[in-house]
A and B are shown apart, each in its own frame.
Chain A
Amino acid sequence: MKLLPSVAFNDFSGSAGNVTARKTGDRTVLSTRTKHSKKKTIYQAATRCRFADTVRGYVDITEEQRQGWISLANNLGSYHTSTGKEYSMTGHNLFVAINTYRKICGKPQSDIAPLELKPSNYIRLDDWWLTPEHIVLTGLGEKENPNDVLYVEMYVAQSPAENDCWDKTVLVAIFPDTDWGDIDLTSAFLERFGTPLKIGQKVYIKACWVDSECGYVKYYSLIGHIVQELSIEHGEIYLPRPKITTADLYNYNRPFRFERLDFEMSPTSTNIVMTSIDMIIINDGSDTQNFIMEMYPNTIDRILWANLWLFSRDAADYQVCFISISTNNLENSKPLSILNNTFIKFHNRTEFFGTYITSE
């Protein structure tokens, strides 16, 4: 864009060829017509297609619906886009903006202007990792609005000299919810950008909770940092959350099976960890004092603890037993043993639940 005290274009507004002139105060501003880059990636094609569809949608709505958008836009005043720019809003722009984000969130076009616009919210963060192997945000907390989704844009600077790239971020993922406050962006990032991060690269992340029904992106958190091995806030090594699922176990032809298996330990580097457990074992055989099953080798690598002491409860008669669950890492066998230490035996259906501490 060029600012000219032009003689040729004095008092002139409009376009000629690829040049557009407009008056700003007593000066004339010339700008060239914007052209898209002609790049044809899947994401760019989808974005252009979505935008074009939405623009066309405004033509197809009724005049009454159009007046609704215009009225809402007039009440709104200015409008902030996700790139941080502020615009005076028109009914058309508001329709396109809202419906663009609604479509990103998987919602259909809304022809009718909403009664009110619920702006997006900042995220909170406890810690985060930007490493070549893991892009993880933790401590995002619970969403307060059931319609909220987590909207995440990212950009990786192409050189150390490239700064303030907040207007270059692109959509990486929409998350309907977090996994207990955690978001793992690694696979979404790889799918979007193709190559993993490298130590020293500068990364920009723009994230917010946006009401998927409303689609009004106004407030968002801007977080950026250099890629490093340790977490950004607390300087911790990334440890995955150790869980045991049915996929981690095999039990040959044993006469018992899991109806439910939800077993997770706090990710720490010690073997004294807080463990939450909620599982049900169906026993099709005779009453027994123990259940023993084998874990696949990669599971034992994630599981540091050796013993866990807890209660079990029979699902039918509610008898409570004192149980130990232990792991072992033998050369040819990696058993997970559930042992009943009371004189009561495991019956048909046994429940194990609670929050306990593992022991060495």
Chain B
Amino acid sequence: MNEFQSNGFCILNGKIVVNPTHPDYIVADRLELDLPSDFLMSKSAMSSAVLVSNISIYRDGTLLRCWIEKKKLCIEKLTVWDSFGNYEIYIYSAFVERGYRGQVIPAYIQSVVFNQPELFRIVYKVYKETHDFIFMALLFNKKNTTQGQGPFTLQLTSIATDVSIQVPIFFDNLTGTRRTGNNIVIGTLENGSLTFNYPGDTSSFGEIRTYLIFYAIRNITNVT
């Protein structure tokens, strides 16, 4: 797990693999990871992580509650996808102490432009960049004409190029009908390019909405 810390604020980047058949997991009410003994923050407001199951083709998953308590990283336990074997939890999240009165985000916003407008149309984009990390929230549409499995690469111009992460990307189902969790693919952000696949046949998708939100620490390769 990679970390960026400042007084009252921190970012954690990393991925953990959970074995739902482990006896400790079965009896646990929540998942807990010990943070380093010199970790500054002992308690945080509510944050989030992403559960990515082991279902084939599109790895269904959802959002999990995640917070810091007594110098432990605590993650909500959801057993919905336990029967599909080990699952992953991606943590690309910020944690903040309430009442922090420092300059939280000395950020400025860069333009984020997709250079493949024939395949995707951006709906919303938020990008903030500091010396130490970036924050991004993207929502884009796959166009009806976009076919195949990919890989699709979106060059995000003007963003920091010193971020290298694997990040879960949600997309909604075709008809908006109720199902359990979302389809998820794992994208790679590297050198300002976001690359991902739709491993199934996208021809039947029509227009779908794809979205991701993450905090990523700069200058560090985020591997676990």
Chain A residues packing against B (C-beta within 8 Å): 126-127, 138, 141-142, 179-182, 234, 236, 239, 241, 262, 264, 266-268, 272-274, 276-278, 309-311, 313, 317-322, 324, 341-345, 347, 353-357, 359-360
Contact = CB atoms under 8 A, between A and B. Distances in A.
B93 A266 contact: no
Interface residues of B, number: 49
Interface stretch (B23-31, B94-102, B144-152, B190-198): B94-102
Contacts of B45: 264, 276, 278, 355
8 contacts: A126-B101, A181-B99, A241-B99, A317-B181, A319-B180, A320-B170, A341-B139, A354-B47
B172 A357 contact: no
Given A241-B98, A319-B62, A355-B95, A343 B209 contact: yes
Given A274-B104, A309-B137, A320-B170, A355 B94 contact: yes
Contacts of A311: 48, 63, 170, 213
B179 interface: yes
Interface of B: 7, 9, 42-48, 62-63, 65, 78, 80, 93-101, 103-105, 107, 109, 123-124, 126, 128, 135, 137, 139, 170, 172-173, 175-176, 178-182, 208-209, 211, 213
A318 B180 contact: yes
Given A309-B126, A355-B46, A318 B80 contact: yes
9 A-B pairs with the lowest CB-CB distances in the bound complex, closest first: A276-B45, A354-B48, A318-B62, A180-B98, A322-B211, A309-B137, A278-B46, A274-B104, A343-B176
Nearest to A262: B46
B103 A268 contact: yes
Given A273-B105, A353-B65, A357-B135, A344 B213 contact: no
Contacts of B94: 274, 355-357
Contacts of A357: 94, 105, 107, 126, 128, 135
A264 B139 CA distance: 24
Contacts of B48: 311, 353-355
A268 B179 CA distance: 41
